[in-house]
Structure 1
Amino acid sequence: MISVFCKFYENLNASSLAELNTVYTQNVRFIDPVGEHNGLEALHSYFDNLLENCTTCHFTLHQTQLVEQHGFVTWTMAFSHPKLINGKTLCLEGCSEIRFSADQKVCFQRDYYDLGAMLYEHLPVLGPAIKWLKRRLNQ
């Protein structure tokens, strides 16, 4: 069951969203630093919007762990967005907590990643301020 999840993310693109129902339950609960999305239709809209706005988006999966119906996957997302640092490719490290239903589909997913590293640090006004603050906190 975790292999289906991994394969989906390794091949994620706008056309693969048609396969979302083979990976997720109808009532899936998906949480990440951007927000919470409940239900397959809401998740499809969220992914569709993300992929539409990115020039590239690719996941490399690293470690997987599954105990009964509960698992974790670590990953790196390489993405580019035309409004972030002139469309250059950025890499973001993250981890997904996933829970599977009895029919071996994902019914819950929570993604953990640094939203600042993904977005805020690359914005013209906020970026330098956040980087300065991080340096100050590390002294």
Structure 2
Amino acid sequence: MTALQRYGEFFAGMQPTDLDRLDIVFVENARFRDPFNEVEGIAAIRAVFEHMYANCAEARFEVLESVGGERVGYLRWRFHFRLKRDRRKRRPVDGVSRVVLAEDGRVREHIDYWDAAGQLYEQFPVIGGLMRWLRSRLAVADR
């Protein structure tokens, strides 16, 4: 099993209690970036995931694919979640993470790429309507 696959397994199985073990997975000065956050260091990365678990119920990542070399790889994932105030699950969000590994196999950089506007914001009543309208205005018209 490669270091990227091990990280993918950690990521897919991560629970709030696993946040105490982030130093096994990330180097001390690791960088993490997603559409909402750009942080450096294990404490800051932990804060991002703590915030996610504080606001989302049933939050989990499903790793669909891992591709890469010895130092750089990509994880294609699906995020399943429900906001704590929701009565039902929301549509999952699909994304890709670019992962840079240190020589010891821990993560030095994790950068998420996913469409927050199309996959997340559209699920909310007011902003969703605005996002769908904007998308219809920017899309090529059917011929």
Give the TM-score normalised by structure 1.
0.91
Gaps of 5+ in 1: none
What is the CA-CA distance between 1:83 and the residue it aligns to? 4.4
Distance in 1 (CA, whole Å) between partners of 2:119 and 2:41 is 25
Matched, 1:93 2:94: yes
User: RMSD value over aligned CA atoms?
Assistant: 1.5
Alignment of 1:1-139 (within 5 A): 1-83=3-85, 86-138=87-139, 139=141
Distance in 1 (CA, whole Å) between partners of 2:37 and 2:92 is 20
Gaps of 5+ in 2: none
Percentage of pairs with the same residue: 28
- C-alpha offsets along residues 55-97 of structure 1, whole Å, 9 cap, x if unaligned? 111111112112120101101111110346x443320110000
Distance in 2 (CA, whole Å) between partners of 1:126 and 1:21 is 38
- C-alpha offsets along residues 39-62 of structure 1, whole Å, 9 cap, x if unaligned? 000000110111111011111111
What is the CA-CA distance between 1:118 and the residue it aligns to? 4.4
Distance in 1 (CA, whole Å) between partners of 2:81 and 2:90 is 5
How many residues in Structure 1 have an aligned counterpart in Structure 2?
138
Distance in 1 (CA, whole Å) between partners of 2:111 and 2:103 is 19
